[in-house]
Structure 1
Amino acid sequence: MEIHERLTAVVQLMEERKKLMGKFRQTQQMLIAERNRFVHLKGILTSEGRDVERLEGLTLISLFYTVLGTKEEAMQKERQEYLAAKLQYDECGAAIRDLEVELENLERELDAIGDPEAEYQAVLREKEDVLLQSGGLVAQQLFEIDEETGRLQAKVKELKEAIRAGEDLETALNGMEARLNSARNFGIWDILGGGLLVTAVKHLRISDAQRDVHKIQQLLRRFERELADVQIETDIGLGGFATFADYFFDGFIVDCIIQTRINSSLDCTREQRVRAQQIIAGLRQKLGETNECLTELHERRKQIIEKA
């Protein structure tokens, strides 16, 4: 491989390693935040569980609610809050396990790349020798183009990875939206007399929703990291990647219990999908612009060589 090709390749590798290190640090921060959140949610879950037990037992408060005729209403509210807390707690635990695996994978990728800095320094020494021997402006211009080409090629790769992550997220959100529309139809049927069969189906759909939300959380984290690679800041997770599950489950549980709509979670999902689509469109535009810059660099290199 000639020195010009080696320079382009090693610059691209250095850029990739820098981005991997950024992902690694960001994933570490996510893991710390989720572990802290797990402790917080465990406290909430324990508290909500005590509230349910307190109302279910023959305590003074339980008897008081019974006399007032509001015990069942109070029980429904406490069970609802406990279920929402349990779903959020379980999701947080799953997120921690995912992040631990992702950190291990990133460590392996970093080990595989190694440290290209030594190769870069070796290429720079060779470049210096070539410039001293040729003493010409042409060689300097070509080396500058080669370095910029390496950086742009790394950027193209990052943009493509971010677009793929966004498209995967969009697909998952589309699927979630379709299932929520179906669940909403079941809710209407339940009101009209669907009975126990529909109630059982709806319980299954809660399990489906839990699985789907977990998958979307994974994809949100991945998309967030890829966007950081291309230096795009966004609050696509409605204030943070952990918030989507909380917001979704709160609305979903309320809607399922009152059995009149699944609108809150549906709105949340649609909002995320539209936001993801907007970001993907911006990424595609950046990719087009970067490819145009690469084409211009190739043309400039060709013209310099032809005129030399």
Structure 2
Amino acid sequence: MFSEVNTRLIEIKGDLRKKQKYEAQIEDFQKELEVVEERIVQLETQYRSEEKDVIQLEKMTLNNLFALLSGTKDEKLSKEKQEFIAAKHRLEEANKTKSEIENSIYELKNKLYMIDDVESRYNQVLFEKEKMIKSSHSRYSDKMYELSEQEGILKAYIQELEEAITAGKNVKHDLLDAQNSLKKARDWGAFDMFGGGTISSFVKHQHLDEAEDCIHKAQTSMRYFQKELLDIHEEAHLEVDISGMLKFADFFFDGFFVDMMVQDKINDSLDQTKSQHSKVNGIVLNLTDQLDEKKKEIESIQKEKQELIESL
């Protein structure tokens, strides 16, 4: 008698949790967007300043003439151009991040729109079930209702754990790709230091370009991972600062061109990437253990429900 309405109720309770999850993710994305937009304003100011410095040095003023004669102009211009390129690079990276966050907010709002009426659907089904319980003369009705509620909550939580685990595995994959590119850049960089020449320098920077793409991808994956953990952070007893981990790529993008990613910078980037992989792996293992535990709990509830039905 209760099976059909219980199934509907479990599905709707899942949608209720999804709505809460989407709303929390949108709010968090919007906060992040504000920070990125503030950073873009700062980077645009810095970019214009660096551009102005390059233009001034390229003009043949009296001061520049003296600098040219003394052999310092080319050195100054080279440094200013590197700083200009670095500022441009950081600005492009920030704008790319802004665009991705805006797209994520748009997609979440569409998902939210699809389940906008979930509260009214929930209240309607709850009303139907209440009538059924009141009209039922079985002393097991309340117990069946209680078990169905527990099952619905567990199923929704299990789905959230599975989504978070998948997101965490994506981060790990992207971080491993970044590590491989950085290791290749490190090895070619070492060869370059011992007289590898133009080819080794070219190949090194080719791998650094690959690493940059991978690290940007990993940061994007980390952002989605953090959003998946928002609604289960306390329930999952996570002690790692996920929000702080979102900034892990800053060490890589800041000053990327200024020092042309010399060997110590490559090694530092590799260490940081390994550290993030270790942290994410720890969280994924924690979530996997909890998933196994919750699956056992739901099996126990379903067994109890089956025994109750058979006893009627």
Instruction: Specify the TM-score bucket, using the shorter chain as the normaliser.
Output: 0.7 to 0.9
2:275 maps to which of 268, 271, 275: 271
SS in 2 for 1:229: coil
The residue type equivalent to 2:182 in the other structure is L
> Residues 85 and 213 from structure 1, CA distance in 2 versus in 1: closer, same or farther, beyond 3 angstroms?
farther
| Structure 2 partner of 1:231 | 233
SS in 2 for 1:230: coil
Q: CA deviation at 1:28?
A: 2.1
**Cα deviation code 1:208-244 (max 9, x no counterpart):** 233223212211111110111322564346x352x33
C-alpha contact (below 8 Å) 1:162/1:226 kept by paired residues = yes
CA distance in 2, matches of 1:221, 1:261: 24
C-alpha contact (below 8 Å) 1:252/1:265 kept by paired residues = no
Q: CA deviation at 1:70?
A: 6.3
Q: CA deviation at 1:114?
A: 3.1
1:167 maps to which of 158, 169, 178: 169
The residue type equivalent to 2:219 in the other structure is Q
Percent identical among aligned pairs is: 34
Deviates most, 249-258 or 266-275: 249-258
| Structure 2 partner of 1:34 | 36
User: What is the number of residues matched between the two proteins?
Assistant: 306
2:289 maps to which of 271, 285, 307: 285
CA distance in 2, matches of 1:156, 1:90: 38
The gaps in structure 2 that reach 5 residues or longer are none
The residue type equivalent to 1:189 in the other structure is F
The residue type equivalent to 2:157 in the other structure is K
C-alpha contact (below 8 Å) 1:163/1:284 kept by paired residues = yes
Q: CA deviation at 1:245?
A: 3.2
1:213 maps to which of 215, 231, 235: 215
Q: CA deviation at 1:149?
A: 1.1
The answer to whether residue 51 in structure 2 is matched with residue 45 in structure 1 is: no
> Residues 202 and 61 from structure 1, CA distance in 2 versus in 1: closer, same or farther, beyond 3 angstroms?
farther
CA distance in 2, matches of 1:61, 1:224: 52
CA distance in 2, matches of 1:219, 1:138: 47
CA distance in 2, matches of 1:164, 1:139: 38
SS in 2 for 1:256: coil
| Structure 2 partner of 1:244 | 248
| Structure 2 partner of 1:93 | 95
The residue type equivalent to 1:269 in the other structure is T
The residue type equivalent to 1:181 in the other structure is K
Q: CA deviation at 1:206?
A: 4.0
SS in 2 for 1:38: helix
TM-score (norm: length of structure 1): 0.87
The residue type equivalent to 2:220 in the other structure is Q
SS in 1 for 2:140: helix
Please provide the CA RMSD for this pair. 2.7
2:160 maps to which of 152, 158, 161: 158
CA distance in 2, matches of 1:187, 1:203: 9
CA distance in 2, matches of 1:61, 1:286: 68
The residue type equivalent to 1:8 in the other structure is I
SS in 1 for 2:142: helix
**Cα deviation code 1:97-123 (max 9, x no counterpart):** 111221221122122223221221112
C-alpha contact (below 8 Å) 2:184/2:204 kept by paired residues = no
Deviates most, 209-218 or 34-43: 209-218
| Structure 2 partner of 1:298 | 302
Q: CA deviation at 1:281?
A: 0.8
Deviates most, 125-134 or 297-306: 297-306
> Residues 70 and 245 from structure 1, CA distance in 2 versus in 1: closer, same or farther, beyond 3 angstroms?
farther
Matches within 5 A, 1:72-221: 77-221=79-223
Q: CA deviation at 1:274?
A: 1.0
CA distance in 1, matches of 2:290, 2:193: 49
SS in 2 for 1:231: coil
SS in 2 for 1:225: helix
Q: CA deviation at 1:300?
A: 2.3
The residue type equivalent to 1:200 in the other structure is F
| Structure 2 partner of 1:4 | 6
CA distance in 1, matches of 2:62, 2:10: 77
Deviates most, 145-154 or 225-234: 225-234
CA distance in 2, matches of 1:301, 1:126: 20
C-alpha contact (below 8 Å) 2:178/2:210 kept by paired residues = no
Q: CA deviation at 1:44?
A: 1.9
Q: CA deviation at 1:280?
A: 0.7
Matches within 5 A, 1:249-260: 249-250=253-254, 252-253=256-257, 256-258=260-262
Deviates most, 249-258 or 261-270: 249-258
Q: CA deviation at 1:170?
A: 0.4
CA distance in 2, matches of 1:64, 1:271: 49
